[in-house]
Amino acid sequence: MSEKRDRKDLNDFLEQMEEKFGISGLAPEQYSSLGLAYIVDAVYDMMIRTLVLGLGNGRVRNFHKITSSIVKAEAQAKLIQTILAELSEEELAVYKRGRNTKSATSAKNASIVDYRTATGLEALLGYLYLKHRMDRAMELVKTGLEETGQMPKHL
């Protein structure tokens, strides 16, 4: 298969999931903020793990250490703060709805402010994922990682 075809298949992942598994017809706007944050936990983790693995061959322990430092609530809170000015009105509204959602749980090693701010980022990224806008999600994450100095550079 050509590289272009492979990329198209990756971009169509959600469409394939919907088709093959009959995922509900809810629009992204209909999901709760915590539901959006829930789905993106896996998506964001996969994005960061892919970046870290792209650094080259290494020990899984080192991969995990780098990944954990980027996906934790404190790091996510810093990331969203650097990209707030770049969000559209729609994206900002989704972020704020996620940030303001009260959760029954909180992170073990994060302040409540960082936890809620990170939940807002996750809600936004989950929304973009379900809207089939991973290009935009990746653009925002890349900008945020670069501006916060969190872009993985070495093992």
Q: Per-domain residue ranges for the chain? A: 27-148
Architecture of the domain spanning 27-148: Orthogonal Bundle (1.10)
* Per-residue model confidence (pLDDT) at position 76: 97
- Distance between CA atoms of residues 40 and 31, nearest Å: 13
* pLDDT tens figures, 106-134: 677 888 899 999 999 999 999 999 998 99
* Per-residue model confidence (pLDDT) at position 51: 93
Distance of CA 54 to the CA centre of its chain: 18
Which structure tokens are listed for 153? Answer: 């550079």
* Per-residue model confidence (pLDDT) at position 2: 45
Percent of the chain having pLDDT more than 70? 89
Q: Which residues are catalytic?
A: 41
**Of 18 and 85, the one with more pLDDT:** 85
Other beta carbons within 10 Å of 112: 11
- Distance between CA atoms of residues 42 and 155, nearest Å: 22
**Contact (CB, 8 A) for 98 and 123:** yes
pLDDT confidence tier of residue 4, bands split at 50, 70 and 90: low
Whether residue 95 is predicted with pLDDT greater than 90 in this model: the reply is: yes
* Per-residue model confidence (pLDDT) at position 124: 97
Full-model pTM? 0.87
- Distance between CA atoms of residues 77 and 86, nearest Å: 15
Within 13 Å and on the Cβ side, how many CA atoms surround 27?
Answer: 2
* Per-residue model confidence (pLDDT) at position 21: 86
